[in-house]
Homo-oligomer: A and B are copies of this chain.
Amino acid sequence: MLLRKNETVIFIGDSVTDDGRARPVGERLSGLGNGYVRLIDCFLEADYPEYNIRTVNMGISGNTTADLLARWDDDVTARKPTTVVLCIGFNDVWRQFDSPMQPEYAVTPEQYRANLNTFADKTSAKMIWMTPYYLEPNTDDAMRKRMDEYGAIVKEEAKKRNIPCIDLQAAFADILQHRYSAFITWDRIHPGPLGSLIIARAFLKGIGAEKSVGK
């Protein structure tokens, strides 16, 4: 498994990560929010209690990579994690579609790529990246296409730097064959309990937590 004993793992991202976590620091079971971070922590506690993993949720709803940049030193570096899990990009894309007249709310692909690299440069800890996703199976849909473009950037940059990368869009492929996206979520982004479980298990599989997800 990619995680070692006694690690401090910070999850950083937007509302998909945040999901009601405690302020200013989201930690201990009651502070981890209601989403995939808490689920991952529960799986690790149930299956790897002897690892004593310290899980910290530093997601903030509505954030883009530009917002993460502004708080990386305080919310990541200063907390001295041994692993940083990054799940960001949803709003970088979304604002291009729901706020077309406010371009400063969104982040361009070039800037997105640059921001990802800045995060990596600033971080001496191990990193794990997760791609953003859009729960729309039609790959010709304008926003899905754009999200795929951002997901590809994550995968490309991760590959260059040998950062383990989890493709969340791929993780949702199976359920989207059986259920219409409105079954999971009305806005195709916020994952709800089912989507959070799918994310959590994609992560656990990605890090090789076999006790939690089988081989």
Q: Contacts of A98 on B, CB cut-off 8 Å?
A: 28, 180, 182-183
Instruction: Count the copies.
Output: 8
The answer for the CA separation of A197 and B179 in the assembled complex, in Å, is 24
Establish whether residues A28 and B182, one from each chain, have CB atoms under 8 Å apart when the complex forms: no
Q: With A53-B101, A194-B29 in contact, do A46 and B175 touch (Cβ < 8 Å)? A: yes
Q: Which one of A81-89, A110-118, A134-142, A157-165 contacts B?
A: A134-142
Establish whether residues B180 and A143, one from each chain, have CB atoms under 8 Å apart when the complex forms: yes
Q: Contacts of A100 on B, CB cut-off 8 Å?
A: 52, 179-180, 183
Q: What is the chain B residue whose CB lies nearest that of A174?
A: B49
Residues of A contacting B: mostly? helix
Establish whether residues B197 and A43, one from each chain, have CB atoms under 8 Å apart when the complex forms: yes
Establish whether residues A143 and B186, one from each chain, have CB atoms under 8 Å apart when the complex forms: no
The answer for the CA separation of A213 and B47 in the assembled complex, in Å, is 11
Which residues between 177 and 197 of chain A lie within 8 Å of chain B, taking CB atoms? 177-180, 182-183, 186-187, 192-194, 197
Establish whether residues B38 and A193, one from each chain, have CB atoms under 8 Å apart when the complex forms: yes
Q: Which of A41, A42, A177 has the most C-beta atoms of chain B within 10 angstroms of its own C-beta?
A: A42
The 3 A-B pairs with the shortest beta carbon distances in the complex, nearest first, are A214-B214, A49-B178, A54-B101
